[in-house]
C-alpha cells in the first residue's frame, strides 16, 4: 500500500482520502510493516477507516496480519452519539478469545524433576480439539452466559481473587443470553472448560527475565517463577454468534443506509435494535469465554497438585481479552465521548490510575499479556498513561505465514522433535497439526514488544519462556 508513509518512529500513516473518514495508522518496525504489506492487511486498515462514526484513526498493532473484515491487530473506535457503528468483523469469530496467566510458588528447579508427571496430568485434565468440555450442565451454561466467571465461582470453582485479577471482573455487563441462537448454545453446552484447537494452547512457562522490577513485584512475578499461560476463547458458541449476526446485518445495513468497501465489514449503528442485539449476544459469549478460561485454570491447579503430590499456590496474575467491542469513555478533541472500541486481535492496556483496575494494580497499571508461539518467548507488559490507540496493545506475535504454508515447511513430527530437543515437553492434540503453529509461522515476539514500548502502547515487564506445551 504505497499510500502509507512514515509518521514517526515505528509509526506509518495513510492520510484520509476517498471515502476514508479518518487516517489509517500502523504501529510497526520496518520489517513488521513489510510483512503486513504482503498479505492485504494494510488494505483492511484503510477499509476500516470508512466505518460510520469512526474517530481519530483506524489503528493496527505491531502484530497485524490479514483477518475477516478487520485486520487481526485492528483497533477502531466509533462515536456512539454520532451514529457510530458496531461491526462483528471488528471483534472476530472467537468472541473474547484471550489470555490468562497463572503464577505459582514454584521455581523451575522445583518443577523440573516432576515436569513429566505434571505434563501427564495436564494432558489428561485439559480437554482440547473437538472434545467435550469439563463442565457441560445446561443449568451452569445458562448461568455462565448471564454472569461469566462469577457463576463458576458461585458453583464452587475457583476463588473471588480470580475475579479481581480478570478484565471486567470476568463478567461482561449487558449480557443477554436469550439473544443467542439455539444453535450457538447447543455448540457451547459441550465445550465449557475446554481449550479448543488451532492456535489455542496451555503453556507451562518460567519467568526468564524481569525488566521492570517494581511492576513485576506488583503483578506477582519473580525471576525463575513457574507460570501457566492459557490462550482460548468462546469456542463454537462465539463462532456461531458471530456467524448469526454477520448474516442478519447485511439487510440491516441497507435499512440504515450504510455502505462499506468490504462486505465483511457488515455493521449497524450501536444505537439500533440490531446493534443492541449484537452487543447483548456478544457479551453473553464473552461471559462464556471468561468462564471457560477460569475453569481451565482450576483444572490446571488440580493437575499441578496431583503431579507434584502436594498443594501448590497458583494465584491468577491476570486475564485479558483480545477480541471484543466495548463501550468506553475516552477524550477525543478535548472532550469525553462514549465510544464503541473494537479490539480485534488487540489487548486492552490501561495505565496506572484507571478506575477499572483492582486496588492492588491501580498504582502500577494493567498487566498486558503477549504470547509468542511454541518454542519462543511470551511477554508480560504493563499499561501506560497516554496510550495513543484507545488503551490498546498487541495481542501476540502475529502470524508470518498461513497454516498451509507452515505445513509445507515441516511435518508435525519434525516440529515436535525440534521442541523436545529444546527441552520443551509437548502434549499435542494432534501431532500432524503441530506444524500449523510452529515457531517459524509467527513473527518475532521480541520485535512486537519493542514496538509496543517505543510507540507508547505498553512497557515491557517480564519475558517468559516455555518448558511445557499442551496444544489444542
Q: In degrees to the nearest 10, what's the CA dihedral of 25, 30, 33, 37?
A: 120
26 strand-pairing partners: 12, 60
CB neighbours of residue 250 within 10 Å: 10
Q: Are 285 and 324 in contact (CB under 8 A)?
A: no
| Residue 5 to residue 23: CA distance in whole angstroms | 11
Quickly list H helices, 22-148.
30-37, 41-48, 108-111, 115-125, 138-147
Nine-digit cell string for 72: 487481526
Can you tell me whether residue 33 is helix, strand or coil? helix
Count the residues in the chain: 472
**Order of strands across the sheet that contains 58-65:** 5-6, 11-14, 24-27, 58-65, 72-79, 335-344, 323-332
Q: Say which residue the cell 451514529 belongs to.
A: 83
Q: Are 291 and 144 in contact (CB under 8 A)?
A: yes
Q: Say which residue the cell 499510500 belongs to.
A: 3
215 by Cβ neighbours in 10 Å (0-12 / 13-18 / 19+) ranks as: buried
| Residue 324 to residue 60: CA distance in whole angstroms | 15
| E strands, 395-443, in order | 425-428
Catalytic residue numbers read: 395
Return the closest-CA partner of residue 345 out of 99, 146, 108. Answer: 99
DSSP 162-223: HHHTBGGGG--TT--GGGS-HHHHHHHHTTTT---STT-EEEEEEEEEES-HHHHHHHT--T
| Residue 90 to residue 243: CA distance in whole angstroms | 13
Amino acid at each position: 500500500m504505497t499510500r502509507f508513509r512514515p509518521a514517526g518512529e515505528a509509526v506509518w500513516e495513510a492520510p484520509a482520502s476517498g471515502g476514508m473518514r479518518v487516517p489509517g495508522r500502523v504501529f510497526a518496525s520496518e520489517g513488521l510493516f513489510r510483512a503486513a504489506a504482503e498479505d492485504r492487511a494494510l488494505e483492511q486498515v484503510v477499509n476500516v477507516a470508512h466505518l460510520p462514526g469512526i474517530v481519530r484513526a483506524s489503528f493496527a498493532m505491531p502484530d497485524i496480519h490479514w483477518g475477516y473484515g478487520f485486520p487481526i491487530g485492528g483497533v477502531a473506535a466509533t462515536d456512539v452519539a454520532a451514529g457510530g457503528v458496531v461491526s462483528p468483523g471488528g471483534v472476530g469469530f472467537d468472541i473474547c478469545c484471550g489470555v490468562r496467566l497463572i503464577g505459582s510458588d514454584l521455581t523451575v528447579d522445583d518443577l523440573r524433576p516432576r515436569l513429566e508427571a505434571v505434563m501427564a496430568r495436564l494432558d489428561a485434565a485439559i480437554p482440547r480439539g473437538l472434545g467435550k468440555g469439563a463442565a457441560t450442565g445446561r443449568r451452569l451454561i445458562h448461568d455462565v452466559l448471564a454472569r461469566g466467571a462469577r457463576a463458576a465461582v458461585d458453583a464452587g470453582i475457583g476463588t473471588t481473587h480470580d475475579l479481581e485479577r480478570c478484565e471486567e471482573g470476568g463478567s461482561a455487563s449487558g449480557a443477554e443470553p436469550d439473544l443467542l441462537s439455539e444453535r450457538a448454545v447447543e455448540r457451547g453446552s459441550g465445550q465449557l472448560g475446554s481449550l479448543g484447537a488451532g492456535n489455542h494452547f496451555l503453556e507451562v512457562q518460567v519467568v526468564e527475565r524481569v525488566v521492570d522490577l517494581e511492576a513485576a513485584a506488583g503483578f506477582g512475578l519473580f525471576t525463575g517463577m513457574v507460570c501457566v499461560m492459557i490462550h482460548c476463547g468462546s469456542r463454537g458458541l462465539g463462532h456461531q454468534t458471530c456467524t448469526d449476526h454477520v448474516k442478519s446485518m447485511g439487510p440491516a445495513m441497507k435499512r440504515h443506509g450504510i455502505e462499506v468497501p468490504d462486505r465483511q465489514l457488515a455493521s449497524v449503528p450501536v444505537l439500533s435494535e440490531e446493534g443492541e442485539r449484537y452487543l447483548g449476544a456478544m457479551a453473553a459469549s464473552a461471559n462464556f469465554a471468561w468462564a471457560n478460561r477460569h475453569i481451565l485454570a482450576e483444572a490446571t491447579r488440580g493437575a499441578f497438585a496431583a503431579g507434584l503430590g502436594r498443594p501448590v499456590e497458583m494465584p491468577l496474575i491476570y486475564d485479558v481479552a483480545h477480541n471484543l467491542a466495548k463501550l468506553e469513555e475516552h477524550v477525543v478533541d478535548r472532550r469525553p465521548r462514549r465510544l464503541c472500541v473494537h479490539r480485534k486481535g488487540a489487548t486492552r492496556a490501561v495505565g496506572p490510575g484507571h478506575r477499572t483496575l483492582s486496588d492492588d494494580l491501580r498504582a502500577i497499571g494493567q498487566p498486558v499479556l503477549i504470547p509468542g508461539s511454541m518454542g519462543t518467548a511470551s511477554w508480560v507488559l504493563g499499561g501506560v498513561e497516554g496510550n495513543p490507540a484507545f488503551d490498546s496493545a498487541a495481542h501476540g506475535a502475529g502470524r508470518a505465514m498461513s497454516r498451509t504454508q507452515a505445513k509445507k515447511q515441516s511435518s508435525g513430527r519434525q516440529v515436535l522433535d525440534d521442541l523436545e530437543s529444546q527441552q520443551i515437553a509437548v502434549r499435542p492434540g494432534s501431532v500432524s497439526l503441530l506444524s500449523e503453529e510452529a515457531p517459524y509461522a509467527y513473527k518475532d515476539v521480541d520485535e512486537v514488544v519493542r514496538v509496543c514500548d517505543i510507540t507508547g502502547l505498553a512497557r515491557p515487564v517480564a519475558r517468559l519462556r516455555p518448558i511445557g506445551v499442551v496444544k489444542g
